[in-house]
Amino acid sequence: MELEDLYDKEWETHLKKFYMTAWNYICDGKSVMLEPIWLNIPEKQQFYSKTEKKLLYLGPTWTMYLISEQKDDKGRVMVYAPYLFQQGQVFLIPAKLVVKIGYN
């Protein structure tokens, strides 16, 4: 096996892992897509990112998906956003701000 072949297999493994992680965020594991949402806010605001463990900005019409409708002790639900450069973030958003826009 040549070094290039080894690199290709390692790259393919990383790509598959990334793809499956992203797929699991926008699907529930049974090939059912998560529901797209917007936020009922006038302009971008900071929300807590579980991924980065800090506050990050989200805009009202940015691409987001509702992960779970189950609320935490502060009335927040989990939302997935591809965020910048498709890196993906999981946010805690107050449930009252979530607007379900349905599937297109």
pTM over 0.75: no
Claim to verify: residue 45 and residue 80 sit in the same structural domain: yes
CA neighbor of 69 nearest in space, from 44, 37, 45, 22: 37
Question: What pLDDT score was predicted for residue 74?
Answer: 93
Which residue type sits at 48?
Y
Question: Is 45's pLDDT higher than 80?
Answer: yes
Number of domains within the chain: 2
Pairing of strands 64-68, 54-58: unpaired
Claim to verify: residue 11 and residue 58 sit in the same structural domain: no
Predicted confidence (pLDDT) per residue in 54-72, tens digit:
999 999 988 888 888 889 9
Claim to verify: residue 25 and residue 62 sit in the same structural domain: no
- Give residue 14's domain range: 1-33
**For 26, how many CA atoms within 13 A lie in the half-sphere containing its CB?**
14
